Amino acid sequence: MSGKSFWQSGHRPTLIMAFLYFDVAFMVWNMLGPLAPIIARELGLSDAEKGFMVAVPTLAGAVLRLVNGFLVDRIGQKITGAIGQLVVIAGLLAAWHFGVGSLNGLIAVGVVLGFAGASFAVALPLASRWYPPEHQGKAMGIAGMGNSGTVLAALFAPLLAGLFGWNAVFGLAVIPLALVFALYMMLVKDSPDQPPARSMGVYLRDYCAMLGESDAWWFILFYGVTFGGFVGLSGSLPIFYTTELGLTPVHAGYATAACVFAGSLVRPIGGACADRIGGIRTLSLVYAVAAALLVAICFAPHHFAALFPLFFAVMAALGIGNGAVFQLVPQRFRHQIGIMTGLVGFGGGVGGFYLASSLGLAKQWTGSPSAGFLVFAALALVALAGLTSVKKRWRTTWGAAIQGVRI
């Protein structure tokens, strides 16, 4: 243990900027969800097309996180983050200038927004490498709380679309992105605790080695449920509230923002709980509660007063789970955190893509998205069973070697 307090043990400006960078990146990454009801009405999209539209940035972000996992170890977190921010700014300016008027155009925008989603593989190592094991949960929780940017998208995207048109929202989003980019370049520092630079061949070999570790696959599954559920619901709730409950896009944005805020606010609490009672115990509770709530959503009365508290609670549970997963990952793979952040983030992105697209498909095929919620509840139970199967081995092997930290 370092013996230092949390704020003394790391680099505070970098931690704060990791949060802000992640926050605005998440804002634009999830922008299409709140805009989906407006865009779908104007372009005449089907339920499945709506689900696919909001899922594309999630899948693109998942794939690009693997790329960023290489770059943060090769050229550093700061430069990697700067490149991603410039790509997103340029892409949104192009979308605003030329206009987007088709599903194919929206898919192209979604791919560009994936670079914002890939910020996950930059912001978390940026924070993690500055902090010792006993403070990992808090550091990763604060940086990861940047997923609250989804709240900003849900609150303001429908309002701005109503005032200026939804294409204009792409251009307006560049303003906060540019401001944060300037602060990021001035304040962020890479930690001196960096792994040696590796060639692409060595990196691919290390990736394959990680995929040969059963623990890596467990973490991919665990985050695929917690973060996948969080981001999948973040993009899908505006569609659910408008099509299933009849809310206006603006009111749907408010309701979604409240749910997303709950999931974002408690992420540091999840990390702190994991530091205090152990990540395994925290995650076990999360999966059990999330599964129960998702099943309840399927059978609850089809009214806002009944469904909103359930969505609010399940997003909070998943947010706690997000913090708990990333209390455990740096303990198990501290010297491979760049690769593992990319891999685990990829799992989270795939989980979000699956949930968002499956809800749209379920609605189109059955007339209700309930089947999508039920299958995801089953995945949460699979994660719970997997965690139960490995917890004894984890606690008696690598967990036992970490002094003063509960897993």
- Distance CA(269)–CA(323), nearest Å, equals 7
Which residue, among 336, 393, 299, 394, has the nearest Cα to 73 in the 3D structure? 336
Domain assignment of residue 392, yes or no: yes
- Distance CA(366)–CA(407), nearest Å, equals 42
Residue span of the structural domain in which 41 resides: 12-396
Domain assignment of residue 353, yes or no: yes
Which residue, among 211, 191, 224, 226, has the nearest Cα to 339 in the 3D structure? 211
Q: pLDDT tens per residue, the chain (407 residues)?
A: 555 666 666 778 888 888 999 999 999 999 999 999 999 999 999 999 999 999 999 999 989 988 887 788 788 889 999 999 999 999 999 999 999 999 999 999 999 999 999 988 888 888 877 777 666 667 777 777 777 788 899 999 999 999 999 999 999 999 999 999 999 999 989 877 776 666 778 878 888 888 899 999 999 999 999 999 999 999 999 999 999 999 999 999 999 999 998 988 888 888 889 888 988 999 999 999 999 999 999 999 999 999 999 999 999 999 999 989 988 988 888 777 767 877 888 899 899 999 999 999 999 999 999 999 999 999 999 999 999 999 989 988 887 767 666 78
Q: Given CA atoms 286, 291, 292, 298 in this order, what sign does their dihedral have?
A: positive
pTM reported for the whole predicted model: 0.87
Tally Cβ neighbours within 10 Å of residue 387: 20
Domain assignment of residue 404, yes or no: no
Tally Cβ neighbours within 10 Å of residue 219: 22
Quote the longest CA-to-CA distance of the chain.
Answer: 60
Domain assignment of residue 403, yes or no: no
Domain assignment of residue 2, yes or no: no
CATH of the domain at 355: 1.20.1250.20
* Total count of domains within the chain: 1
Domain assignment of residue 402, yes or no: no
Domain assignment of residue 202, yes or no: yes
Residue pair 77/125 in contact by the 8 Å Cβ criterion? yes
What do you get for the CA distance between the two ends of the chain, in Å? Answer: 15
Residue pair 232/56 in contact by the 8 Å Cβ criterion? no
Sole residue written with tokens 């209700």: 368
Domain assignment of residue 92, yes or no: yes
Angle at 131 between CA 344 and CA 208, to 5 degrees: 30
CA 151 to centroid of chain Cα atoms: 13
- CA atoms within 13 Å, Cβ hemisphere of 108: 14
- Distance CA(396)–CA(391), nearest Å, equals 9
